[in-house]
Amino acid sequence: MLNVPSQSFPAPRSQQRVASGGRSKVPLKQGRSLMDWIRLTKSGKDLTGLKGRLIEVTEEELKKHNKKDDCWICIRGFVYNVSPYMEYHPGGEDELMRAAGSDGTELFDQNLTLLLRLECGGAVSSRCNLFLPGSSDSPASAIQVHRWVNYESMLKECLVGRMAIKPAVLKDYREEENKVLNGMLPKSQVTDTLAKEGPSYPSYDWFQTNSLVTIAIYTKQKDINLDSIIVDHQDDSFRAETIIKDFLYLIHIGLSHEVQEDFSVRVVESVGKIEIVLKKKENTSWDFLGHPLENHNSLIPRKDAEDTYMKNSYIRKNINQRRETFIFTFSPNVVGLYYRKCQLISKENVTHDTRLFCLMLPPSTHLQVPIGQHVYLKLPITGTEIVKPYTPVSGSLLSEFKEPVLPNNKYIYFLIKIYHTGLFTPELDRLQIGDFVSVSSPEGNFKISKFQELEDLFLLAAGTGFTPMVKILNYALTDIPSLRKVKLMFFNKTEDDIIWRSQLEKLAFKDKRLDVEFVLSAPVSEWNGKQGHISPALLSEFLKRNLDKSKVLVCICGPVPFTEQGVRLLQDLNFSKNEIHSFTA
C-alpha cells in the first residue's frame, strides 16, 4: 500500500487547520464554489478523460499521474482523477497534490478526523452522530461539509477505476458478468486476480447428485472451522464468506435453480476444505451453478473494516467521549458488512438495566460468531439506519441456568445494557418478541491461538465489558487442557450492576480453577468486598502468575478509560504485549 506522509497534513493554511479564531481558508476563484462543482459534475463532461470507461490501475500507472493537470489519487482502493477538481478544493491545490499519484486514504482519514473536530467543535450535540451528508435534517445541511468527507459522491464523476492489486484486491467480476459458472474457474483466472500477498489463493468447485448440490471451498489453510464460514442465501442469491486469516474469500452467486431454505456446512479441517450442501427443490440436473454476483470469487482484506472502525473510534473519542454510533456514510467498509434480519425470540432481565436478548438467525444463514469477536446490530431510528457493535455471549455460563440451551448455531445471545438516555439501546429495548433486527457478519481481532498452551488466564472486565469474557470463560474451562487458573476481576458500580453474579459464583464453586473477585466503585457502606477503580494496588495483588515462566494471557474490556488505564498498568507490571489482549474495537 502506498503511503503518504500525513504528519503535515492538512497544509498549514488549509481549510482543515484549526486556527485560534476558526479555520483558514484558501480563497476559491470566482465560479469555483461547491455549487459550481456540482454543476460541472452533472454537465455530462468527461472528467476522467476515459470516456466513461472504468479501468484497473496498477501502482506503476498511478505513480505516472502526479502532475496538477494529470493527477490521480487512490482512496480506499478506488482511483480518482482529481485534476478537474483542483480549483474547487477549498483546501487548495497543494493539499491535493500531496497525494498525487499515490494512495491518499490516510490523508483522507486524517482530514475527516479534523473535519469532525472542527464541525463538532468538541462540544457535541447528539446530532453530530446523526450526521448524514445530504439528508435534509442532518447537520450537513446546517454546516458546510468538507468536500472530502463525502468524497465518494463528490468525486463520482472523477472515478478512473480500481487499483489492480493493492490496496484492496478484488477480483474483477465484471469481465465474467455475462458468463455462467460451469464449475471451477480455470486456475489461471482464479489465481491471476487474487492477492499476491496473504493466504494461498483459495478456490471453489461444485458438484451435484440427483437431489444435492455441493459447493466446495478449498481454503488451503488448516485452521479453518465452522466459525470461519458464513453462508446466506436469499431467493436465488447465494453468498459464502470464508474468513482466511485477515482476508475474506467471497463466493457470491445467483443460483441457476431453486434450492431449499436449509442446507448443511461441513469442514474438513485437516485439508482446509469447506463443503456447503444445498438441497435442490427439484431433482433435475443443473447444467451450471449460476451467474457471478458482485465481488464473486474475491479475496478481500478484512483488516480494512477494523481499521475503519478504529479510525471512527478515534474520531468518536475526539468529538464525543461517550457515543459510539456508526453512520454508513462515514464508513465505506462497514457498509460492506453483510447484514441478515434476525428475529427477537426472547428478552429477559439480567440486572435492573441489562437484558439477555436472544435472536434467531434465518434458516438460510449459517453464522457462528468466533470467540472474542463482535457483530453490529442495525435498526432504523427516525429514518436513519443506526448500527452499534455488540459481543455475542452464550445463553448462560452454566447449563442449569438455561434448560434446554437452544442450539447455538441458530440463536445468538446478547447481554445488552439499556441506557435510557442512549440512542440505540432504548430502541432495541422497545422491540417486541417476533420483531426483526439486522445482524452483521462478525469482526474483531481476537485470535483463539492465544489460548495455545495457556496456563494462567486473567480477565479484567468492567460493566458490559464482561461480554467477551463469557465465551472466553466457557472455552477456557472446557477446551484448554493446559489451563491451571482463571481469575476474573469484575468491576461494577454497585452490587445491582453485576451481570450473572450468582452464575459466576456457582461456576467458581464448581470449578476450582476459577476465582472471581468483584470490585465496586460505588458500593453501599455494607459492602465488604473490594472497592475502587482499577489501580496498581488492585492489579499487582490480583495478577500473580502461577509460576515464573507460566504462559499467561490477560484480557481486558470495559469503558475506554478503564481499558486504557488497565493496559498501562499491565505494562507497568511487566506483562508483555503478547500477554495482553484489550477489547477496544
Site residues (vs ligand FAD, CB under 6 A): 124, 320, 322-324, 374, 388-391, 414-417, 419, 421-425, 464, 467, 585
Minimum gap (Å) between residue 448 Cβ and ligand FAD: 17
Q: Which is nearer to ligand NAD, 301 or 465 (CB)?
A: 465
**Pattern of binders to ligand NAD over 428-467, x per CB under 6 A?**
----------------------------------xxxx-x
In the list 47, 492, 554, 569, the residue contacting ligand NAD (rule: CB under 6 A) is 492
Work out whether 313 is an interface residue with ligand NAD (CB under 6 A).
no
Q: What share of the chain is helix, strand, coil (3-state, %, to 5)?
A: 30, 30, 40
Q: Which residues contact 111 (CB under 8 A, 6 or more apart)?
A: 9, 10, 16, 91, 146, 148, 149
The DSSP element (H or E) to which 123 belongs, if any, is none
Q: Which is nearer to ligand NAD, 200 or 584 (CB)?
A: 584
Binder of residue 273, out of ligand FAD, ligand NAD, none (CB less than 5 to 8 A by kind): none
Query: Do residues 401 and 365 make contact, with C-beta atoms less than 8 angstroms apart?
Result: no
Minimum gap (Å) between residue 562 Cβ and ligand NAD: 4
Minimum gap (Å) between residue 304 Cβ and ligand FAD: 17
Q: Which is nearer to ligand NAD, 162 or 581 (CB)?
A: 581
Query: Do residues 219 and 202 make contact, with C-beta atoms less than 8 angstroms apart?
Result: yes
Query: Do residues 304 and 191 make contact, with C-beta atoms less than 8 angstroms apart?
Result: no
Q: Which residues contact 373 (CB under 8 A, 6 or more apart)?
A: 391, 442, 443, 444, 446
Give the CA radius of gyration of the chain. 26
Work out whether 559 is an interface residue with ligand NAD (CB under 6 A).
yes
Minimum gap (Å) between residue 520 Cβ and ligand NAD: 7
Residue with cell 453468498: 239
Work out whether 562 is an interface residue with ligand NAD (CB under 6 A).
yes
Q: Which of 91, 560, 124, 128 is nearest to 314 (CA)?
A: 560
In the list 103, 241, 443, 497, the residue contacting ligand NAD (rule: CB under 6 A) is 497
Minimum gap (Å) between residue 320 Cβ and ligand FAD: 5
How many other CB atoms are found less than 10 A from the CB of residue 263? 21
Minimum gap (Å) between residue 562 Cβ and ligand FAD: 13
Query: Do residues 76 and 332 make contact, with C-beta atoms less than 8 angstroms apart?
Result: yes
In the list 491, 500, 518, 575, the residue contacting ligand NAD (rule: CB under 6 A) is 491
Please state, in angstroms and rounded to a whole number, the distance separating the CA atoms of residues 505 and 484: 18
When CB distances to ligand FAD are compared, the closest residue is: 422
Subset of 127-146 contacting ligand NAD (CB under 6 A): none
Q: Which residues contact 383 (CB under 8 A, 6 or more apart)?
A: none
Binder of residue 323, out of ligand NAD, ligand FAD, none (CB less than 5 to 8 A by kind): ligand FAD
Q: Which residues contact 512 (CB under 8 A, 6 or more apart)?
A: none
Minimum gap (Å) between residue 48 Cβ and ligand FAD: 39
Subset of 40-69 contacting ligand NAD (CB under 6 A): none
Minimum gap (Å) between residue 556 Cβ and ligand FAD: 13
Binder of residue 561, out of ligand NAD, ligand FAD, none (CB less than 5 to 8 A by kind): ligand NAD
Binder of residue 203, out of ligand NAD, ligand FAD, none (CB less than 5 to 8 A by kind): none
Work out whether 418 is an interface residue with ligand NAD (CB under 6 A).
no
Q: Which is nearer to ligand FAD, 265 or 369 (CB)?
A: 369
Bridge partner list, 251:
240
Q: Which is nearer to ligand FAD, 113 or 391 (CB)?
A: 391
Its sign, for the CA torsion 122, 126, 132, 136, is negative
Please state, in angstroms and rounded to a whole number, the distance separating the CA atoms of residues 486 and 473: 8
Work out whether 165 is an interface residue with ligand NAD (CB under 6 A).
no
Work out whether 521 is an interface residue with ligand NAD (CB under 6 A).
yes
Work out whether 373 is an interface residue with ligand NAD (CB under 6 A).
no
Q: Are strands 78-81 and 159-163 parallel, antiparallel or unpaired?
A: antiparallel
Binder of residue 492, out of ligand NAD, ligand FAD, none (CB less than 5 to 8 A by kind): ligand NAD
Work out whether 101 is an interface residue with ligand NAD (CB under 6 A).
no
Query: Do residues 387 and 440 make contact, with C-beta atoms less than 8 angstroms apart?
Result: yes
CA 254 from chain centre, in angstroms, equals 26
Cell, residue 366: 449459517
Task: Report CA dihedral (187, 191, 192, 193) to the nearest 10 degrees.
Answer: 120
Please state, in angstroms and rounded to a whole number, the distance separating the CA atoms of residues 569 and 535: 7
Minimum gap (Å) between residue 353 Cβ and ligand FAD: 9
Minimum gap (Å) between residue 127 Cβ and ligand FAD: 11
Q: Which is nearer to ligand FAD, 290 or 389 (CB)?
A: 389
**Pattern of binders to ligand NAD over 539-558, x per CB under 6 A?**
------------------xx
Please state, in angstroms and rounded to a whole number, the distance separating the CA atoms of residues 423 and 531: 31
In 29-79, which residue ranges form alpha helices assigned H by DSSP? 34-42, 59-64
Please state, in angstroms and rounded to a whole number, the distance separating the CA atoms of residues 380 and 382: 6
In the list 281, 430, 493, 568, the residue contacting ligand NAD (rule: CB under 6 A) is 493
Q: Which is nearer to ligand FAD, 181 or 416 (CB)?
A: 416
Sheet strands (E) in 235-383: 237-244, 247-255, 259-268, 273-280, 290-292, 298-301, 339-349, 354-360, 365-366, 375-381
The residue ranges that bind ligand NAD (CB under 6 A) are: 374, 391, 417, 462-465, 467-468, 491-493, 497, 521, 533-534, 557-559, 561-562, 565, 583-585
